[in-house]
Amino acid sequence: MAILRCNKCGHVAEALGEHAGKSIACPNCGNEVQVYDTVLFVRKVLQQYFALQEETVRLRAQIPATDTATVTPSATGFDIHNTAHLASDAQHTHILQWFQRRQVQVRTNPKAVDTTGFFDDVAVELGDNYALLRDVVDKIRWGQSKDVPNFSLNLSKHSQKDGQAINAFCKQLYDYSFLAKYFYQKQEKIGRATIQSVPAVRSFFAGEWLEWYAFMKLLALFGEKGREFSCTRNLSVVFPNEDLHELDVFFLVDGDTPVCIECKTGEFRQDIDKYLTLRRRLGIDRSQFILCVTGLTDEQAAGLTSMYELTFVNQDGLVPHLSKLF
């Protein structure tokens, strides 16, 4: 079989194979049309399609980041702990363009940067006081993994100041529904809690809290320094060979300087080679591709940074490291 397409009326139809390479009347409007071999016709259409696709990518890559109508947000213009401003498509424009110029497809998750809930507040409190509050998180994670809903905290082992801080944090968790139940037995100095079973809260304590912490710390840092930025979390990245990755926290500062942070609250060593490869493929400087790992000592972080072409920090070292760069 052959195929014809009328340039006058747009009619497409099959034709007898013997007509391939000849001109016949369009069966719809009577206009004279060329008849093509079907395989040849499809090949030509695909060639034109891919040529146009490549040209579109090339033209997009030539658009300077400053030419976009998007206004890159500054943290000084809104309350970073209570805004949906960052969840807009426009806010992600610079990031999308940055990856397009590298022939990389991305899928954003606007909900992951919406701070109108309480995930960010709890994450900052936890990260800023991790050494003191770690036991609370460990008990929650253990209960989640073993399907044991209740746990208790013996605050008599702590100083009065630390015990009050831990109790206040648990009350905050209950007020924000991160715990299903919590009450404090003042005389015995024991806190008793029931774990929240909601999936979003389970994911938070399973490690997502550190992503929120890193994200909020960068928002505050770049806002204080008056730097323009675009930002995202849980960014899906698809390379031309269809390799799929997810970036925990990604900022684009001043339109062209990337900062990528991968957050680990558990084992990380088996993923080092993966992150090395990812950093090289994206062409990000080692100082700006950061593994933030809870529990690392400063000495361990410095040693790992010298061993690998990546930057290692603990939660306390994240902001000091970035402050040196920006």
Fold of 119-201: Ribosomal Protein S8; Chain: A, domain 1 (3.30.1370)
Nearest to 180 by CA among 205, 209, 160, 213: 205
Looking from the CA of 282 toward its CB, the CA atoms found within 13 Å total 29
Looking from the CA of 9 toward its CB, the CA atoms found within 13 Å total 13
> How many CB atoms neighbour CB 264 within 10 A?
19
Q: Alpha helix (H) ranges present in the chain?
A: 38-61, 93-100, 119-128, 130-146, 160-175, 199-203, 209-224, 272-282, 298-307, 318-325
Q: Amino acid letter at 102?
A: R
**pLDDT tens readout for residues 262-297:** 999 999 999 999 999 999 999 999 999 999 999 999
| Calpha distance 95→118 (Å, rounded) | 26
Question: How much is the average pLDDT of 29-55?
Answer: 74
At the second CATH level, the architecture of 73-114+207-325 is 3-Layer(aba) Sandwich (3.40)
Domain boundaries, the chain: 2-61, 73-114+207-325, 119-201
Q: How confident is the model at residue 102 (pLDDT cuts 50, 70, 90)?
A: very high
What is the pTM assigned to this prediction? 0.78
Nearest to 192 by CA among 144, 235, 151: 151
Task: Kindly state the tokens that stand for 212.
Answer: 């929120």
| Calpha distance 258→251 (Å, rounded) | 6
Read off φ and ψ for residue 200, nearest 5 degrees. Answer: -65, -35
**pLDDT tens readout for residues 238-265:** 999 989 999 999 999 998 999 999 999 9
**pLDDT above 50: residue 144:** yes
